[in-house]
Structure 1
Amino acid sequence: MRQFIIRRLLQTVPMLLFVSIACFIMVKAAPGDPVLSFVTPNMHAEDIERIRHNLGLDKPAYVQYFLWIKECLSGNLGYSLINHKPVLDQILERLPATAGLMGSAIALGVLLAIPLGLLAGANRSRWVDKGVNLLAYIGISIPLFWLAILLMYLFSIKLHWLPSMGMRTIGKESAWDVIKHGILPCTVLAMGFLAVYVRYIRSSTISQLKEDYVQIQYAFGSSKKTILFRHVLKHVLLPVISLLGMSMGDLVTGAIVTETVFSWPGIGSLGMTAVRGMDYPVILGITLFSSVMLILGNLAADILYSLADPRIKTTR
């Protein structure tokens, strides 16, 4: 197991290098000039060139890249061009909000997908299966931003049940207030991959019910409910672990959209603010940080899969 983890960590080095190069090239190719954030109407050309020199933007692109990656390796992701705060401090400040939202969405999605997928697979071609399939197709087809606006209009504007924006109500510090603010964004983010999980668990359940061990359990007098939740569930959940790792990218993308619509103070909304303000250090820092989290998430999924299934043996 130790060799497997070391080998996977070493494989992340060229991947992160490629991501950093691609991100740096895209930011450099984007329209606009970061120096314009510091320019005032009465500023002379010499002052503008001095700012460009202080930011290191007068050097060749490859030199700028190596200087940036050198600072990143030392833990310095640069400073924001808008508020002049360290990028890493801003990311870490907003990380708990994003992690809480993503963790709640994953838990909600998995807890709903398992019973729905098992129920649909065990009642293939019946009204339960058709109903779950219909909900899954709707969840796959609806864009997240449209669903977010729809839920916000229904539960916040019309019914006044839940708050529509932010993470806290001004003057309130209770946990229940945070939970109420997080219900809508968590539901929207969970719907982004709940439908995929339901379809996957349903198809796995149908294939597992055709296996020989199921027929043997029926021969021993086991009930369908016992077979489904005691035997089939174990085989169905193993691939879901890998599916969690593969869906981390969609989860991060969905978090950016969800946080922007609901004004959730997380990394996603910080990134959108940086894009609108052409704050290139923040964009680069968030992209690199998100890539590291995605790679570590996939690594954790592979490790959990190998621990959950004793038949998997890691080799040299």
Structure 2
Amino acid sequence: MRQLIVKRLAQTIPMLFFVSIVCFAMIKLAPGDPVMSFVTPNMHAEDIERIRHNLGLDQPAYVQYVQWLKQLLSGNLGYSLINHQPVLDQILDRLPATAGLMACAIGLAVMIAIPLGLVAGANRNRWPDKLINLITYVGISVPLFWLAILLIYFFAIKMHWLPSMGMRTIGVQSAADVLKHGILPCTVLAFGFLAVYVRYIRSSTIGQLKEEYVLIQKAFGSSRYTILFRHVMKHVLLPIITLLGMSMGDLVTGAIVTETVFTWPGIGSLGMTAVRGMDYPVLMGITLFSSVLLILGNLLADILYGFADPRIKTMR
């Protein structure tokens, strides 16, 4: 296991280098000019060029990338072109809001997806399976921003039960107020994760029900409920470990649309602000930070696989 961790960490460096190059190239090829955020109607061309020079945007793209890479190797993600604040500080300031929202959404989705996936797999092609499949198809097909707007309309505008935007009510500092603001965005995100998780669990359940240990449990007289939730569920949870590892990257970027709709002060809304202002240091920092979390999440999934199924250790 130690060799696996060292090997995967060694592979991280060239992978992150490749990701940074692709991301930087895409940002430079995208239409728009960061300097336009500082331009006023009465500004002269010389002033515009002076701003471009001060931001370092008058140099070739490869020179800008090398300078950014030097800052990265020194432990600095650079400074925002818009507000001139350190990129790393902005990401770390907004990370708790996004991480809390995503963790609640993923946890809620897993708790609901496990029983739904097990029931769907155990009742293959019957009405419970068809009903759950319909829910998952809706979850996969419906755009999250549309679902978010729909929930805001019914629960915030019509019924006045829940707040429609922000993370806190002005002047209120209680945890209950934060939870109340997080209900709608958490529900939207959980619905998106739920559809994927249920499909994986259903497929795995169908395969596990064909295994010999299920037939042995039936021969011993075990009930269907016992077989499904005590024996099959242990093996079904393995794909969930992979999904959770892949979801680590979503802790940074997965809530971009939802945070924008609900004006949640997380990394997603920071990323949207950076996109509108062509603030490439912030975009590079968010992309790199997300890539690191995704790689670490996959590594964590491999480690958890070894603990969940000892046979995987021997295979490695």
TM-score bracket relative to the smaller structure? over 0.9
Return the offset for 1:259: 0.4
Distance in 1 of aligned mates of 2:96 and 2:251: 16
Partners of 2:34 and 2:81 within 8 A in 1: yes
Partner of 1:73: 73
Partner of 1:54: 54
1:147-162 correspondence runs (5 A): 147-162=147-162
Return the offset for 1:233: 0.6
The SS at the match of 2:77 is coil
1:38-187 correspondence runs (5 A): 38-40=38-40, 43=43, 45-187=45-187
Return the offset for 1:278: 2.1
Partners of 1:193 and 1:247 within 8 A in 2: no
Could you say if the C-alpha distance between residues 68 and 309 of structure 1 is closer, same or farther in structure 2, counting changes exceeding 3 Å?
A: same
Partners of 1:144 and 1:257 within 8 A in 2: yes
Distance in 1 of aligned mates of 2:111 and 2:232: 16
Return the offset for 1:44: 5.0
Return the offset for 1:94: 0.3
Number of residues paired by the alignment? 316
For each residue in 1:256-297, what CA deviation from the matched residue of structure 2 results, as whole angstroms up to 9, or x when unmatched? 011011100000001101111222221222122222222222
Partners of 2:252 and 2:289 within 8 A in 1: no
Partners of 2:94 and 2:266 within 8 A in 1: yes
Distance in 2 of aligned mates of 1:244 and 1:128: 26
Equivalent position amino acid for 1:8 in 2: R
**Does residue 235 of the first structure (1) align with residue 213 of the second (2)?**
no
Equivalent position amino acid for 2:177 in 1: D
Return the offset for 1:10: 1.1
For each residue in 1:71-117, what CA deviation from the matched residue of structure 2 results, as whole angstroms up to 9, or x when unmatched? 01222222222222111111110000000011111101100000111
TM-score by length of 1: 0.94
Equivalent position amino acid for 2:152 in 1: M
Equivalent position amino acid for 1:231 in 2: H
**Does residue 201 of the first structure (1) align with residue 223 of the second (2)?**
no
Partners of 1:98 and 1:266 within 8 A in 2: yes
Partners of 2:34 and 2:277 within 8 A in 1: no
Partners of 1:156 and 1:163 within 8 A in 2: yes
The SS at the match of 1:168 is coil
Partners of 1:144 and 1:258 within 8 A in 2: yes
Return the offset for 1:199: 1.5
Percent sequence identity is: 81
1:242-281 correspondence runs (5 A): 242-248=242-248, 253-281=253-281
The SS at the match of 1:199 is helix
Could you say if the C-alpha distance between residues 83 and 252 of structure 1 is closer, same or farther in structure 2, counting changes exceeding 3 Å?
A: closer
Give me the CA root mean square deviation.
1.9
Distance in 1 of aligned mates of 2:165 and 2:13: 39
Distance in 1 of aligned mates of 2:157 and 2:196: 30
Distance in 2 of aligned mates of 1:197 and 1:175: 29
Could you say if the C-alpha distance between residues 211 and 61 of structure 1 is closer, same or farther in structure 2, counting changes exceeding 3 Å?
A: same
Partner of 1:6: 6
Could you say if the C-alpha distance between residues 79 and 249 of structure 1 is closer, same or farther in structure 2, counting changes exceeding 3 Å?
A: closer
Partners of 2:99 and 2:251 within 8 A in 1: no
TM-score by length of 2: 0.94
Return the offset for 1:200: 1.5
Distance in 1 of aligned mates of 2:25 and 2:125: 51
Distance in 1 of aligned mates of 2:122 and 2:315: 37
Equivalent position amino acid for 1:176 in 2: A
Q: Which runs of 5+ in 2 are unaligned?
A: none
Could you say if the C-alpha distance between residues 62 and 220 of structure 1 is closer, same or farther in structure 2, counting changes exceeding 3 Å?
A: same
Distance in 1 of aligned mates of 2:172 and 2:314: 51
Distance in 2 of aligned mates of 1:288 and 1:62: 18
Q: Which runs of 5+ in 1 are unaligned?
A: none
The SS at the match of 1:62 is helix
Distance in 2 of aligned mates of 1:28 and 1:216: 61
The SS at the match of 2:313 is coil
Could you say if the C-alpha distance between residues 269 and 252 of structure 1 is closer, same or farther in structure 2, counting changes exceeding 3 Å?
A: same
Partner of 2:290: 290
The SS at the match of 2:310 is coil
For each residue in 1:215-252, what CA deviation from the matched residue of structure 2 results, as whole angstroms up to 9, or x when unmatched? 11111121111111111011100122112223455675
